Amino acid sequence: MGPLEIVWAGEDRAAWSVVAITLPGAPPVALSAVPGKPLDFTGDPPGPVQKLEEDLRRYFKGERVRFTLDRIDVSRCRPFQRRVLMETSRIPRGTTLAYGKLAERVGVPGAARAVGTALARNPFPLVIPCHRVIRSSGDVGRFGGGSDMKRALLRLEGVSFDAKGHVRPIARNAGS
């Protein structure tokens, strides 16, 4: 699918955190996007960043990977977006959830659009799997890497589609 970029920051290598992951074709993260914490571009990435890189490689090979959120810094996200992202991280591989159902899960029924906006600004795609959130019709909806990439990621995870390109009902509404 192309190269990803993992951006980490911290005062020292022991206190770093991942502040962004960019999808192929997306512009690199600007330094201003990570105020208050200098970026470290020297030497090899810290061990956990190397593990994240390896986990992403394994994911794209089709292996089942459980991404950890231990070093993912969601503190730059607004409270509503944090709630949406944390709930999105619970959607199991191979399943999807409608924007409206996700809104219900975060305690704001009827806020499907607000959920979509929060996911559109997800700084941690793949690790926080916003590609698993779809329209209630089964249409995949939008995605930072494009709808073709979203379908490819879902296929990689075992989700199937009908002739119109909609997610088959069996993969919809995870955990409902």
Is 77 part of the annotated catalytic residue set? Answer: no
Quick one: pLDDT at residue 28?
62
Name the residue ranges covered by the structural domains of the chain.
Answer: 5-60, 79-171
Report the CATH architecture of 79-171.
Answer: Orthogonal Bundle (1.10)
Asked if the model's pLDDT at residue 65 lies above 80, the reply is yes
Determine the distance from the C-alpha atom of residue 99 to the mean position of all C-alpha atoms in its chain, rounded to a whole number.
14
Asked if the model's pLDDT at residue 154 lies above 60, the reply is yes
pLDDT confidence tier of residue 31, bands split at 50, 70 and 90:
very low
0.85 cut: is pTM over it?
Answer: yes
Distance, CA of 131 to CA of 12 (rounded, Å): 33
Quick one: pLDDT at residue 32?
43
Quick one: pLDDT at residue 104?
97
Cβ contact 4:153 at 8 Å: no
Candidate list 20, 103, 126, 130, residue with the active-site label: 130
Cβ contact 14:32 at 8 Å: no
